[in-house]
Amino acid sequence: MKKIILVIIGALSIACPKSYGQKQKLKDDNDQSCPVFYLGLSAGINNSPGMIGLNAALPINQKVSLGAGVGASFWGPKAYGDVTYFFNPCHKGWAVGAGVTRNSGLRDAHKTLHTVTGKQEVTLNMDPKTNLFFAGYRYWRVGKNNNRLFITFGWSVPVTQTRYKVVSGPMLTQDQKDRINAISPGGLILGGGFLFGFHGKH
């Protein structure tokens, strides 16, 4: 997980100088400068940074931005990286994007689940899981600094299998196994969040 975060930070720092150099060219319809960086929070189902997490976005031109973030999920800490294309300038309105997520999994996770001997606490090991995702977005400008409120919807596709093991406790019921598979990363994406826009030095 630490390696993933370092890669994300490194990619954003490499791209930063180019973005800052273009900031005078990024203008919205009202001739106001567009932010050179966004940072905020989001939450949702199969949300890119998890059930709740931190989102960062770095515009590279009027209609394209790179994104990354980290957060918490049922399947352990989660990180993502993506690219988003906006149909309107200044990174607002409708957009589409694609990216990759990585859930780190959990070791020695204590959870109360349905077992063949009743509802009991068991200890699980849950392996890491990687997904590709494709999403649509709708952004609304909030405030004078081009802050953004947004919703997202899409689909997350697993590229690794769902693997977990009960290391302590009774065997799980088939219904409980099905529930774990159902809440593992992947499937319908529904979420929303808020991003603060930063304009850098003038």
- The region of weakest confidence among 9-18, 84-93, 140-149 is 9-18
What is the token pair recorded at 147? 């802050």
Count CB atoms within 10 A of the CB of residue 53. Answer: 23
pLDDT band at 3 (very low <50, low <70, confident <90, very high): low
User: What mean pLDDT, rounded, does the chain reach?
Assistant: 86
Position with higher pLDDT, 7 vs 42: 42
Instruction: Give the mean model confidence (pLDDT) for residues 147-157.
Output: 97
Instruction: Give the mean model confidence (pLDDT) for residues 164-191.
Output: 93
DSSP collapsed to 3 states, the chain:
CHHHHHHHHHHHHHHHHHHHHCHHHCECCCCCECCCEEEEEEEEECCCCCCEEEEEEEECCCCEEEEEEEEECCCCCEEEEEEEEEEECCCEEEEEEEEEEEECCEEEEEEEEEECCEEEEEEEEECCEEEEEEEEEEEEEECCCCEEEEEEEEEEEECCCCCEEEEECCCECHHHHHHHHHHCCCEEEEEEEEEEEECCCC
Looking at residue 22, what is its pLDDT?
A: 42
Q: Are the C-beta atoms of residues 72 and 63 closer than 8 Å to each other? A: no
Looking at residue 18, what is its pLDDT?
A: 44
Partners of 187 in the β-ladder: 156
- d(CA 171, CA 117) in angstroms, rounded, equals 8
Question: Terminal CA-to-CA distance of the chain, rounded, Å?
Answer: 36
pLDDT band at 119 (very low <50, low <70, confident <90, very high): very high
Percent of the chain with pLDDT over 90: 73
| Residue 44 falls in which region: left (phi positive, over 0), alpha (psi -120 to 50) or beta | left
pLDDT band at 188 (very low <50, low <70, confident <90, very high): very high
Please name each of the domains of the chain with its CATH number.
2-198 (2.40.160.20)
pLDDT band at 115 (very low <50, low <70, confident <90, very high): very high
Judging by beta carbons within 10 Å of its beta carbon (0-12, 13-18, 19+), is residue 183 exposed, middle or buried? middle
| pLDDT tens-digit series, residues 9-65 | 454 444 444 443 444 445 544 446 789 999 999 999 999 999 999 999 999 998 999
